Structure 1
């Protein structure tokens, strides 16, 4: 989007929205012209930032989850490359929400099940989720939500915990979201609202709305990311 602004407006834009391409002076008009970073470019930069990070902390929450079935409804933990996770996942099962301590290392997933004192190797699909250690995979993990976003548009700027973030709205293929989270109807697209820190390029929040739990009924997953590149070491627990 091409915009004409005064020098004062350019200074304000640099302070509040982050990097802007250098402008050039219009002939005879004495005005500057600059190009704002597009929604697609901001998403691409956010994906690259996430893919370059060796670790990240996440918090997952949901709205509109059912009261029956076995589904993932929330969680919190640390992800680290190449393929590990350590945290707590909230799973709806048998009408109750269970907090499962989960560790995943190199394709093997362990959980501390209710009424047990140690970890057991599990098949995560039985509990309504996939291998959380794969979420940072550069080809199939959560960064694909940024890479495959369609019809992206720049939204508002706002402050979150003192940091300026820029919103980007987009549409995601339902079959892609099914592979990363879940979907009761992969043929239906999912609406996404991303919040990205324009200075660092770090994706801070992804709010996804679609038929996650029941076809024809929208629900929302909200994923919040922080602590990019923190020193995280995850090892397989002792089982028995």
Structure 2
């Protein structure tokens, strides 16, 4: 009996470290942090539409900056929602529609939409955010030094956190940066079952080169039925 059990016990003892290593280095199904982000990018690039909510922390009180917003994005390059823009010392809620590269906004004290250059308000074309080549999924593919974090629940859904660093130049193109040479710290929350990116928290020199601030992006309603059309202008 002792001779029979000895080899079995030895194999069990050898297997424990290997199982522990898989649990600490991989996701719930053995995925690494990089693989988890790659799956999240494929899911994001494969959806026809999504809803997003953007907020910020430690934003300035002067200048022209994008500090928040909410809306729907649909392929190939459409957006409709409200963006919160800091301008003239106050925060403005701009109703914005973007269709095929043309951005329309309902400016203060007007009743209709006008074609605008979004750069004058401190942001780029929001319709491009869902484009695989220029949009937010780049944050997942360009992440460096990715590490798995804890599993937790977001709105009842189990997510796995991944921390990583993002090239400052890339973040400048998507959002803004006062020092693109500095990396931006990122914390992603990816749904375990669906592979959807539900939250991205970015911290870096967005508004000042020497002071860090944060953008928090929350995504939902992947693949919802969304129809966006260009508004009449006048």
Asked if TM exceeds 0.5, the reply is yes
> How large is the Cα RMSD of the aligned pairs?
1.4
Once residues 73 and 182 of structure 1 are traced to their aligned partners in structure 2, the CA distance between those partners, rounded to angstroms, is 11
By how many angstroms is 1:3 displaced?
A: 4.0
By how many angstroms is 1:4 displaced?
A: 1.9
Tell me whether 1:218 sits opposite 2:212 in the alignment.
yes
Runs of 4+ in 1 over 6 A off after TM superposition: none
In structure 2, the residue matched to 1:160 is 154
Tell me whether 1:146 sits opposite 2:140 in the alignment.
yes
Which of these two proteins has the greater Rg computed from alpha carbons?
A: 2
In structure 2, the residue matched to 1:32 is none
Tell me whether 1:67 sits opposite 2:51 in the alignment.
no
Q: Which has more helix, going by share of residues?
A: 2
Q: Which has more strand, going by share of residues?
A: 1
Listed as ranges, the matches of 1:1-240 within 5 Å are 3-4=18-19, 18=28, 20=29, 36-240=30-234
By how many angstroms is 1:160 displaced?
A: 1.1
By how many angstroms is 1:198 displaced?
A: 1.5
Contact 1:42/1:198 (<8 A) preserved = no
Once residues 108 and 140 of structure 1 are traced to their aligned partners in structure 2, the CA distance between those partners, rounded to angstroms, is 16
Distance 1:166 1:112, change over 3 A: same
For structure 1, which runs of at least 5 residues remain unmatched after alignment?
Answer: 11-16, 21-35
Q: How many residues align?
A: 214
Once residues 234 and 82 of structure 1 are traced to their aligned partners in structure 2, the CA distance between those partners, rounded to angstroms, is 11
